[in-house]
Amino acid sequence: MCKKLMRDIIITCMLVIAIAMTGSIKADASGVSDYGALKVSGTKLVSSKTGENAVLRGVSTHGINWDVGYPYISREAFSTLKDNYGVNAVRLAMYTTEYYGYCDKAGAGESQDTVRKTLKDRIDTGVKAATELDMYVIIDWHVLNDQNPNKYKKEAKAFFKEMSSKYSSNDNVLYEICNEPNGGTSWSDITKYAKEVIPVIRKNDPDAVIIVGTPTWSQDVDVAAENPLSFDNVMYTLHFYAATHKDSYRDKLKTAISKGLPVMVTEYGLSEASGAGNIDTGEANKWLNLLDENGISYFAWSLSNKDESSALLKSGTSKKSGWGSSDLSKAGKWVFSQYKKRNGMASVPAPAKVTGLKLKNAKSRKMVIKWNASLDAGGYQVAYATNKKFKKAKKKTVTNTTCTLKKLKKKKTYYVKLRAYKKAGTGKVFGKYCAVKKIKIKK
């Protein structure tokens, strides 16, 4: 008895030490079911359910206007971000100008109305995928080449009226009303714009978090702190690219925080400000440490395979989801390893491989699947497809050791594999898949 008691004490002490070292017992980034709707309190983004600091560690798409951005708007892509890398939020970056822009389609062959409908459909796909996966999502009015958000203020008001009406019942939607004002656009210009756009959103969605860009490509949060807007639940953006923006820009953030300004980093990269050039992980680490110390949310640019150093996927990678390390760029490997570490995922060992997988036909195009329990598993993920390579495979997550798959195709052969997972922070740590089994659906 004494030996057992001593052993238990030692194990408990070791666990406490491990928790202190890794922070893995309490994830800093959780999902909508944990935080609920978000609100702003002081300088913090907080949970309306618990009042705790809510941290979003997210990823921004590239422009959803183009093929470097929109192919990654899917449940499968977002699920990979969440489950494999601890991402709990996605930003949908919709450019207002340039080719296929929402306000200026430039050389696009379709009509402006068709372009707008297509872009709104892409946003809806993204919001629905994020909602199904318990993730937060930012709808981003991506001002850039138009410089001053007042240029298309009328269009912005109509857009956010429609979006806030459509998603007013969603607890997970945030609105970013002007990405990067630039070209000499002043804080006075931005506040004039915000004072007209924010009430449009508030009429439909009174408590939603609204994010406002700041001057000089959303870098001058210290300027905004001198004269913030009078609305509740408003945050202000700071963007940085680590190889360009260093101590003087971190000083801007520190000044803004000291004056009580709630800040969110809706875009950052490891590269130079152009999105290309060298990457600087040392400076990026300083930034993320500062943001974590102050409970500030941040979104990495960008979920794309574009041939530029800020892209998170390797140039030429064709996979639209399910990315492993070999599919990630140098920046992507660093960003996602940091997210896993900072969410407490890196310290959790993978569960054992599942054994005893059995498949059985059932009536009405159903299949019953059973397997042996894994003692260290928090749940299981079943993958199934009608081909050996599992192309376009469907996945189902369960917590017990049996599940029934429905609405299968009669007389089709299905291939099934299974893996266990442990919950870790905002994501899951997966074990290896078991051996594939197949069955032909008879009834």
pLDDT digits (tens, 9 = 90+) for 241-263: 999 999 999 999 999 999 999 99
pLDDT over 50 at 318, yes or no? yes
Q: What is the mean pLDDT of residues 8-19?
A: 38
**Between residues 156 and 12, the one the model is more confident about:** 156
pLDDT digits (tens, 9 = 90+) for 375-394: 889 999 999 999 999 988 88
pLDDT (0 to 100) of residue 21: 39
pLDDT band of 424, cuts 50, 70, 90 = confident
First to last CA, the chain: 58
Q: Which of 98, 176, 180, 272 is catalytic?
A: 180
* Assigned CATH class of 22-342: alpha beta
Q: Does domain 358-440 have CATH number 2.60.40.10?
A: yes
- What are the backbone angles phi and psi of residue 382, rounded to the nearest 5°? -100, 130
pLDDT over 70 at 8, yes or no? no
Q: Which of 98, 176, 267, 283 is catalytic?
A: 267
pLDDT (0 to 100) of residue 426: 65
Cis peptide leading into residue 186 (ω within 30°): no
**Between residues 409 and 21, the one the model is more confident about:** 409
Answer yes or no: 293 catalytic.
no
pLDDT over 70 at 29, yes or no? no
pLDDT digits (tens, 9 = 90+) for 93-124: 999 999 999 999 999 999 999 999 999 999 99
Question: Which of 338, 332, 140 shows the shortest CA–CA distance to 239?
Answer: 140
Answer yes or no: 180 catalytic.
yes
Where do the structural domains in the chain lie, given as residue ranges?
22-342, 358-440
pLDDT (0 to 100) of residue 15: 36
pLDDT (0 to 100) of residue 7: 42
pLDDT over 50 at 54, yes or no? yes
Question: Which of 379, 423, 422, 425 shows the shortest CA–CA distance to 401?
Answer: 379
pLDDT over 50 at 19, yes or no? no
pLDDT digits (tens, 9 = 90+) for 204-245: 999 999 999 999 999 999 999 999 999 999 999 999 999 999
